[in-house]
């Protein structure tokens, strides 16, 4: 298991067993990503701050103010092009390194899914549900086969293992030993900031393999936990993984834009890095549905990476790399979202919108939290999560 720059992924019955060579390759990719995100990104930022931004200011009378102006300075810099090429290469290597052991182990992973003991948790699939076009049209973040691939035939759920292992390598372990940091951080924040809020029913939208869902079982042990996704292999894997870890969750295959739960059914609706993968129209539909299924007094909270207007222009430019280089077509538009306007449009009312900066629960090295040199953004590396949403009055 990966031990390099961070810690080791917590084992469970659904993870593939890597050979020593495969493990070494995964370790190498994580180390390469770490090098790119620290040494290369840090040096590039130093050069930008000490030389390139002051040069721009001398010419224009102001420092670069937004992603576009930083891009004008950076995009042809050899150091940036080198960093960008390595970042993209490491992304492709990461999926490949995660995929090879899964392909070899697919039969065992599928057999384990059938063998893990039942809990009171359930799985409801809908073979007629269509993948929304915004998701089906691209291999999002360069993941071969996207969320719905069944490389090994119609009951193969091993794509879930590619995601499970891939995310751990991607985040270099910085999302925690169960890749749980987004859910764990938001759940901890809710408990701390709203100690009287005792949700009885919680819904996690776009749950994938349940990384962020399971922390709610721990944070709110009396609540009934539901989780939906459109991708069947992810849900099948999530259901088996939850059982392997002894957690009770009710998974169902549904489009978050059009849920089959009754009105006012939930006290809390959450999502974690879902919204930036959906379209302008879908975000509005998802918020309207959240409003419908929430009871008065409940709330919806979406955990994401930070909106650009809350970031320094250089850091926003670096985060925007994904839109242009990592098959994230909705990334830029999402990072310009206006939560108050969205709350108004979708029935919550702008006065009920909120934006929170939620400290990350994962044990990050202090130096990375405070130095500003770690390439912040979607690695869980920045030390906090951006959460937006609205209260249902």
Which of residues 161, 182, 342, 353 is near ligand SAM by CB under 6 A? 182
Q: Which residue in the shown chain puts its C-beta closest to ligand SAM?
A: 206
- Helix (H) or strand (E) segment spanning residue 90: helix 78-115
Which of residues 206, 298, 339, 381 is near ligand SAM by CB under 6 A? 206
Number of Cβ within 10 Å of residue 207's Cβ equals 30
Q: Give the dihedral sign, CA 297/300/301/307.
A: negative
Instruction: Tell me the C-alpha distance between 178 and 199, whole Å.
Output: 24
Which of residues 2, 274, 343, 387 is near ligand SAM by CB under 6 A? 274
Closer of 32 and 228 to ligand SAM (Cβ):
228
Closer of 70 and 234 to ligand SAM (Cβ):
234
Binding mask 210-239 for ligand SAM (x = CB under 6 A): -xx---------------xxxx--x-----
Instruction: Tell me the C-alpha distance between 322 and 361, whole Å.
Output: 24
Closer of 48 and 330 to ligand SAM (Cβ):
330
Closer of 173 and 313 to ligand SAM (Cβ):
173
Q: Give the dihedral sign, CA 186/164/220/363.
A: negative
Please provide residue 269's backbone torsions phi and psi, each rounded to the nearest 5 degrees.
-120, 130
Closer of 234 and 358 to ligand SAM (Cβ):
234
Instruction: Tell me the C-alpha distance between 252 and 123, whole Å.
Output: 6
Reduce the DSSP state of residue 63 to 3 states and report it. coil
299 has which bridge partners? 268, 391
Q: Enumerate residues 94-133 that contact ligand SAM by CB under 6 A.
A: 132
Closer of 22 and 236 to ligand SAM (Cβ):
236
Burial class (CB in 10 A: 0-12, 13-18, 19+), 223: middle
Instruction: Tell me the C-alpha distance between 28 and 90, whole Å.
Output: 10
Which of residues 105, 257, 315, 368 is near ligand SAM by CB under 6 A? 257
Which of residues 32, 52, 100, 207 is near ligand SAM by CB under 6 A? 207
Instruction: Tell me the C-alpha distance between 276 and 263, whole Å.
Output: 26
Task: State the number of binding residues for ligand SAM (CB under 6 A).
Answer: 24
Please report how close the Cβ of residue 196 comes to ligand SAM at its closest, in angstroms: 26
Closer of 22 and 328 to ligand SAM (Cβ):
328
Q: Enumerate residues 288-347 that contact ligand SAM by CB under 6 A.
A: none
Nearest partner of 381 among 310, 318, 309, judged by Cα: 318
Residues that bind ligand SAM (CB under 6 A): 132, 135, 147, 182, 205-208, 211-212, 228-231, 234, 255-257, 272-274, 277-278, 282
């Amino acid at each position: 298991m990966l031990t390099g720059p961070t810690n080791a992924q917590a084992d469970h019955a659904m993870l593939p067993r890597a050979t020593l060579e495969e493990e070494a390759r995964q370790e190498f990719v994580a180390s390469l990503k770490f090098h790119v995100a620290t040494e290369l990104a840090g040096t590039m930022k130093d050069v930008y701050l000490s030389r390139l931004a002051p040069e721009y200011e001398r010419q224009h009378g102001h420092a670069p103010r937004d992603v576009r102006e930083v891009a004008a300075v950076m995009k042809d810099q050899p150091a940036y092009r080198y960093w960008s090429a390595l970042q993209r290469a490491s992304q492709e290597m990461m999926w490949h390194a995660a995929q090879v052991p899964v392909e070899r182990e697919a039969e065992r992973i599928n057999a384990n899914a059938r063998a893990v003991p039942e809990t009171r948790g359930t799985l409801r699939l809908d073979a007629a549900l269509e993948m929304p076009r915004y998701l089906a049209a691209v291999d999002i973040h360069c993941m071969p086969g996207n969320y719905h691939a069944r490389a090994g035939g119609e009951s193969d759920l091993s794509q879930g293992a590619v995601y499970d292992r891939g995310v751990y390598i991607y985040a270099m372990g910085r999302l925690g030993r169960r890749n749980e940091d987004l859910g764990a951080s938001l759940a901890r924040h809710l408990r701390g900031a709203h100690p009287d809020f005792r949700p009885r029913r919680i819904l996690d939208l776009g749950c994938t393999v349940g990384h962020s869902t399971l922390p709610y079982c721990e944070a709110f042990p009396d609540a009934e936990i539901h989780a939906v996704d459109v991708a069947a292999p992810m849900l099948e894997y999530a259901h088996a993984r939850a059982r392997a870890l002894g957690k009770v969750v009710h998974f169902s295959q549904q489009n978050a834009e059009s849920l089959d739960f009754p009105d006012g059914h939930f006290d809390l609706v959450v999502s974690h890095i879902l919204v930036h993968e959906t379209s302008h129209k879908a975000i509005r539909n998802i918020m309207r549905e959240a409003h419908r299924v929430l009871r008065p007094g409940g709330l919806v909270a979406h955990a994401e990476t930070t909106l650009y207007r809350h970031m320094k222009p250089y850091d926003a430019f670096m985060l925007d790399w994904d839109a242009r280089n990592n098959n994230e077509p909705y990334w830029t538009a999402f990072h310009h979202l206006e939560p108050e306007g969205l709350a108004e449009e979708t029935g919550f009312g702008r006065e009920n919108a909120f934006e929170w900066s939620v400290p990350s629960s994962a044990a990050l090295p202090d130096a990375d939290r405070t130095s500003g040199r770690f390439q912040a953004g979607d690695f869980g590396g920045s030390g906090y999560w951006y959460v937006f949403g609205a209260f249902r009055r």
